[in-house]
Amino acid sequence: MQYRLSRLVAGPVLRLVAQATVTGAEHVPVTGPAIIASNHLSVIDSIYLPLLLERPVSFAAKSEYFTGTRLRDRLVGAYLRSTNQVSTDRAGGRAAHDMLEAALRHLGAGQLFGIYPEGTRSPDGRLYRGRTGVGYLALHSGAPVIPVAMIGTDRVLPPGHRLPRPGRIEIRIGEPLDFAEFRGQPVGARQRRAVTDEVVRGIQKLSGQEFVPMYASVRKLELAATTPTDEPPAAAAD
């Protein structure tokens, strides 16, 4: 009830900010568990995708989104809580394991769970190598994986910007991947990697993004290392 109410209240405002369209919605099952695997361009991915899917879907969102004290952060946090998004502390040593266990509980209850295989937002709009958590979930739960491409969210709210700007968002939903060929096999690193790579290929096919064979988190560290931290000295007056 709270999920539907939050969408009714926030929906008109969000639709004023961005005109959003969905293609392929018929690929999301009406009942039963499924994993929604999306690219990740902006914090608002976790807002617009749950808004525009008919069934409730829970994403793992970093805990900072829930605990911010600025007005915008409080509004985002309230919406994420009301739509059953999962707060994840990425700093803890067991953070990844705890998130996966929470996801398996959602799937075991027949729900939709959303995951960003890249593990973090793309720093430049390209699609990066997937972390194998999505493979772990698919193989342990047996749930189908539905690839999704978010288009335009990084233009509505680019990383580092505080306020969204009007624009268009498109959500493209692909056909489910069931990975039946892995049933009965051990859930090892090779199997998790194979599933993850196939999911990322499915996302790329929908999004048309350039693929980068490295982790987005590594690329962010590279960019941070090359970004000057000090302002240049002011030019002397003539």
Between 63 and 165, the higher pLDDT residue: 165
Is the whole-model pTM more than 0.85?
A: no
What range defines the domain where residue 205 resides?
A: 2-225
Mean pLDDT of all residues in the chain? 84
> Does 238 fall in a domain?
no
> Does 237 fall in a domain?
no
Give residue 9's pLDDT band: very low, low, confident or very high (50, 70, 90).
Answer: low
Give residue 146's pLDDT band: very low, low, confident or very high (50, 70, 90).
Answer: very high
Which string of DSSP letters, residue by residue, matches 30-55? SSS-EEEEE---STTHHHHHHHHSSS
Query: What is the model's pLDDT at position 234?
Result: 41
Q: How far apart are CA 151 and CA 161, in angstroms?
A: 18
> Does 125 fall in a domain?
yes
- Report how many domains make up the chain: 1
Residue 2 predicted with pLDDT over 60: no
Model pLDDT for residues 164-192, shown as the tens digit of each residue = 888 999 999 999 999 999 988 889 999 99
Query: CATH no. for residue 20?
Result: 3.40.1130.10
> Does 79 fall in a domain?
yes
> Does 230 fall in a domain?
no
> Does 39 fall in a domain?
yes
Q: How far apart are CA 147 and CA 36, in angstroms?
A: 6
> Does 59 fall in a domain?
yes
Q: How far apart are CA 46 and CA 49, in angstroms?
A: 6
Q: At residue 229, what is the residue type?
A: T
> Does 234 fall in a domain?
no
> Residue 170 in contact with residue 68, Cβ under 8 Å?
no
Query: What is the model's pLDDT at position 88?
Result: 64
